[in-house]
Amino acid sequence: MSGSSAGQSGRPAAPDWVAHAIWWQVYPLGFVGAPVSSEAQRHDPSVHSLERLIVWLDYAVELGVSGLLLGPIFASETHGYDTTDFCRIDPRLGDSPDVFDRLVTEAHARGLRVVLDGVFNHVGRSFAPFQRALEEGRSAPEFGWFRAIGEAADPGEQRFENFEGHDALVLLDHDEPRVADFVAGVMSYWLDRGADGWRLDAAYAVPPAFWATVLPRVRNGHPEAFLFGEVIHGDYPAIVAESTLDSVTQYELWKAVWSSISDANFFELSAALDRHDSFVQHFVPVTFVGNHDVTRLASTIGDERHREHALVVLMTVAGTPTLYYGDEQGFTGVKEERAGGDDVVRPEFGKGGPSTLAPEGWTVYHLHQSLIGLRRRHVWLHSARTTGLALTNEFFAYEVAAREGVGRLVVLLNLADSEYRQALDGRWAVVAGAAAQSGTTVTVPPHGWAVLQPA
């Protein structure tokens, strides 16, 4: 596939380089320990620059990832998803106008790509066009950018639709052509500055027709940009086809991975992989086992012996894998449904670089290195076909095979207190994990896992 060729739906296919992509997702405001709001920053004179990420780039390279997936970095009021200026780096991440350029230059010098987080479904109330709409009412040029509720006599009392009941997040009107012009302009501006793609936040809440209007214009100038959307539920293939997105986030698989392992119910994972396999016939999803919006993997899977199994699945099935910063060190954290409830899963990372991390996390890091290495040696896994071989509540064996060309692996996952024997055709070699072999029978130890390839 290439950025200029057409996929099955007639939309452009994802750029070639995405087949090799493995992302390290970072939430910058938390990562650098920035104040929780722009107001709080006024009382915090210390520096929390985006440049602090530079000292971690070699760590990311050694981990094996190929790029950074950054959370919001633009001027905002609090958590970054209430953007107030789309063309300005958040002052909490540095007051130098070229702080972004330095980060991109250093990342690209190491072969790391950089993808940005674009919040184009809603804005913060301090967004200048919205403030003009409040001050001038319907005479404001940008009044039509937002969805007014009724008509207030006093413009300052005018109400507008918000995002999921949050008054601080004002919805944009995606039927307004000038909104499409604005979004296309912002996306192109940062791609011109060196970004390699966009994650489109809350894409599920934006009409696919809006993206189908905006994204071709962006690709005209940047055909190699990777453009994917945050989609939690719904008809993934239809959304991708109608929107012209390259991909969407695979929340169905995320949920099945951790809950099937936590509950010792591999039937759930098997069913999810069947659906996942059907998606890959149309597009390759962005896969993950942790992100900035959910409880940490090490907290959702209580039995630490089984956390490895989740990473094994992520690295051996089709998708564009994303690793959330700190998961590779075994960080814990439980998201809470309250104001500030995300903070615990968006923590500050060590100020002094990798040497400041706790010693006990490096075993997890090295496991990630090993499985990422396996993934990168088998690039065909990006769009592989998955077929179940054996299934019980506590044991699951599946095969992954290249859709085109040669490539085949078998994955064995065991959650039970006893070993499990699996018969395989031909001769196989263990390339990750642990298993004993006798003839065509492979034995996986209790609570163990193994990845095998034809010998």
DSSP assignment of 225-294 equals: -EEEE---SS-HHHHHHHH--SEEB-HHHHHHHHHHHHTT-HHHHHHHHHHHHHHHTT---EEES--TTS
What DSSP designation does 37 have? S
The pLDDT of residue 11 is: 57
Q: Give the end of a domain, one of 358, 383, 408.
A: 383
Q: Is there a single domain that holds both residue 35 and residue 71?
A: yes
47, 262, 300 from 333: Cα distances, Å: 26, 16, 9
Chain centroid to CA 440: how far? Answer: 39
Same domain assignment for residues 226 and 303: yes
User: Does 356 share its domain with 425?
Assistant: no
Domain annotation covers residue 83: yes
Q: Which domain holds residue 429?
A: 395-454
Cα gap 28→221, rounded to integer Å? 27
pLDDT computed for residue 428 by the predictor: 95
Amino acid 303: pLDDT: 97
* Same domain for 169 and 91: yes
Return the closest-CA partner of residue 412 out of 443, 385, 437, 383. Answer: 443
Residues 345 and 437 in one domain: no
Handedness of CA 379, 384, 389, 392 (dihedral sign): positive
Q: Which pLDDT belongs to residue 39?
A: 86
Structural domain count of the chain: 2
Same domain, 42 and 78: yes
Is residue 187 packed enough to be buried (19+ CB in 10 Å), middle (13-18) or exposed (0-12)? buried
What pLDDT is stored for residue 45 in this prediction?
66
Side chain identity at residue 135, one-letter code: E
Domain contains 325: yes
Q: What is the pLDDT of residue 221?
A: 97
CB-based contact 25:292 (threshold 8 Å): yes
Specify whether 41 is located in the same domain as 93: yes
**Inside any domain, residue 110:** yes
Per the domain annotation, does 9 fall within a domain? no
Q: Give the residue from 225, 243, 226 showing the smallest Cα distance to 234.
A: 243
Pair (413, 354) in one structural domain? no
pLDDT score for 12: 63
- Here the CATH number for the domain that contains residue 103 is 3.20.20.80
Q: At what angle do helices 266-280 and 236-243 cross, to 10 degrees?
A: 30
DSSP state letters, 410-443: EEEEE-SSS-EEEE-SS-EEEEEE--EEETTEEE
Residue 443: phi, psi to the nearest 5?
A: -110, 125
Q: List per-residue pLDDT tens for the chain, 455 residues long.
A: 334 334 444 556 799 999 999 999 999 999 999 999 988 887 776 778 999 999 999 999 999 999 999 999 999 999 999 999 999 999 999 878 899 999 999 999 999 999 999 999 999 999 999 999 999 999 999 999 999 999 888 888 899 999 999 999 999 999 999 999 999 999 999 999 999 999 999 999 999 999 999 999 999 999 999 999 999 999 999 999 999 999 999 999 999 999 999 999 999 999 999 999 999 999 999 999 999 999 999 999 999 999 999 999 999 999 999 999 999 999 999 999 998 899 999 999 978 899 999 999 999 999 999 999 999 999 999 999 999 999 999 999 999 999 988 999 999 999 999 999 999 998 999 999 999 999 999 999 999 999 999 99
25 found inside a domain: yes
Q: Are residues 450 and 371 in the same domain?
A: no
pLDDT at position 173 = 98
The sheet carrying 23-26 orders its strands as 247-248, 226-229, 197-200, 113-118, 67-70, 23-26, 320-324, 286-288
Examine residue 3 and state whether it is found in any structural domain, yes or no.
no
pLDDT of residue 8: 44
DSSP state for residue 150 in the 8-state scheme: S
Q: Judge contact between 63 and 24, C-beta under 8 A.
A: yes
Residue at which a domain ends, from 323, 358, 383: 383
- Nearest CA to 265 out of 277, 274, 256 is that of 256
Query: Strand locations in 6-112, DSSP E?
Result: 23-26, 67-70, 74-76, 83-89
Q: 85 lies in a domain? A: yes
* Phi, psi angle pair for 91, to nearest 5°: -55, -25
Cα dist from 357 to 60, 107, 156, 311, 330, whole Å: 14, 21, 49, 21, 11
User: Does residue 437 share a domain with residue 363?
Assistant: no
Closest among 447, 408, 439, 407 to 422, alpha carbons compared: 439
Query: 372: which 2 tokens?
Result: 């990422």
Closest to 137 in 3D by CA, of 123, 157, 121, 167: 157
Instruction: Kindly report the CATH number assigned to the domain that includes residue 434.
Output: 2.60.40.1180
Q: Please indicate, yes or no, if residue 285 is contained in any of the structural domains.
A: yes
- Please identify, among 383, 403, 430, the residue that sits at the C-terminal boundary of a domain: 383
Same domain, 312 and 404: no
Are 377 and 405 in a shared domain?
no
